[in-house]
Amino acid sequence: MTFTTRFAPSPTGPLHLGHAYSALLAHDLAIQAGGTFLLRIEDIDLSRARPEWEAMIFNDLAWLGLAWPEPVMRQSERIGVYQAVLDDLWARGLLYPCTCSRRDIQSAAAAPQEGAPMFGPDGLIYPGTCRPTEAAANALSRRNRPTDLPLRLNMTRATAAVGEEVGFTEKGQGPEGEAGEIRVTAWQLTHGIGDIVLARRDMGTSYHLSVVVDDAAQAITRVVRGQDLFEATAIHVLLQALLDLPHPDYHHHRLIRDPAGKRLAKRDDARAIARFREDGASPSDIRAMVGL
C-alpha cells in the first residue's frame, strides 16, 4: 500500500508553530517514503470555521513549501456520509440520545457514589445518566434515529462488539514514551473514555466520527499528529474496528511549546506563522524553530 498521510487542520484560527511542525513532519515523511501527502479541511464546526482562516491555511502551507493534490477534502461537504455511518451504528443499537447539559454531567459525576470524577480525552467521563438498559437499547435501535439530539456511543456495547481489545502501531511516541504495538483494552475504553458523543447537536457529527471515516476514505496509511491526540486514538481504533475500516499506523509527535513550556493554542497569535512571516522569517527559519 502506498504511504499516504495527511494534515487535517480546522480553520478556526491562524496556524501556529505547532501546526507547522505537524504539517512539515507529515510532508517530509511522505517524501521520504515516496508516498502522498494530503490536506483535509476539518470544518464541521460551522460556528467556528471561517473562510478567511481556511485561505490563510492554504497560503501558509504553500509558503512553507508544501504541496498537495487538489481538490482537498472538506468535511463540511461530507455530512451525508457521516449521517449514513451514524444510521448504521444506530441500527446496531450502539448509540443513544443524550440531553444532559454540561452542568448535569458535572453534578452527576461529582455525586459521592461516583468517587472522584474521571477525565477522558473529551473531558469528564460521562456518568451514564441517559444510557438505556439493554432492552431499551434494542427497542431504541428499531426506531428512527433522532437527528436533532446529541448521540452518544454506548461504550459497553461497542466494546462487546469488537472483543477484548483493539490496537494500533505507534511509529512515533505517545506522551509517556509509548511506542510499537499499543493495546487498548475494553476496560480502558469503558472506564477511561466512556460514552463519548459521536453526533453533536449543532453539527450532526463529531470530530471522532469524521476523522475516522475520512482517514479511511482517503486511504491514509500513516496518521501524523500531536501527542495531545494520543488518548483519542484509542477511540479512533475502536471506531475503525466497529465500522470494519482499516487501521492506519499512527505517528504521534512531541508538542511545540511556548517559552514558558505551555502548549500552543490557536489564540496564541504570537506564535502564528503569519506573524513570523510578517517579521521576515523564512520557511527554513520556521523549520529550525520547530527542530526540523
- Name the residues that contact ligand GLU, by CB under 6 A: 8-10, 42, 211, 225, 229
Cell numbers for 42: 476539518
Contact between residue 185 and residue 263 where contact means Cβ atoms under 8 Å apart:
no
- Cβ burial, residue 177 (10 Å; 0-12/13-18/19+): exposed
The residue (of 9 and 127) whose beta carbon lies closer to ligand GLU is: 9
The residue (of 92 and 200) whose beta carbon lies closer to ligand GLU is: 200
Q: How far is the CB of 54 from ligand GLU (least distance, A)?
A: 12
> What's the rounded Cα separation, in Å, for the pair 69 and 251?
22
The residue (of 225 and 271) whose beta carbon lies closer to ligand GLU is: 225
CB contact set of 132 (below 8 Å; sequence gap of 6+): 96, 140, 154
Q: How far is the CB of 31 from ligand GLU (least distance, A)?
A: 19
Q: How far is the CB of 12 from ligand GLU (least distance, A)?
A: 8
Q: How far is the CB of 262 from ligand GLU (least distance, A)?
A: 17
> What's the rounded Cα separation, in Å, for the pair 121 and 231?
6
Residue 254 CB neighbour total at 10 angstroms: 15
The residue (of 157 and 236) whose beta carbon lies closer to ligand GLU is: 236
Q: How far is the CB of 278 from ligand GLU (least distance, A)?
A: 23
Q: How far is the CB of 43 from ligand GLU (least distance, A)?
A: 9
**Residue 120 DSSP SS3:** strand
Label the pairing between strands 197-199 and 151-153: antiparallel
The residue (of 152 and 225) whose beta carbon lies closer to ligand GLU is: 225
**Size of the chain in residues:** 292
The residue (of 8 and 64) whose beta carbon lies closer to ligand GLU is: 8
Q: How far is the CB of 91 from ligand GLU (least distance, A)?
A: 27
The residue (of 8 and 239) whose beta carbon lies closer to ligand GLU is: 8
Element (H, E) at 41: strand 36-41
Contact between residue 4 and residue 35 where contact means Cβ atoms under 8 Å apart:
yes
Q: How far is the CB of 7 from ligand GLU (least distance, A)?
A: 7
> What's the rounded Cα separation, in Å, for the pair 27 and 6?
8
- Cβ burial, residue 116 (10 Å; 0-12/13-18/19+): exposed
The residue (of 9 and 150) whose beta carbon lies closer to ligand GLU is: 9
> What's the rounded Cα separation, in Å, for the pair 20 and 26?
10
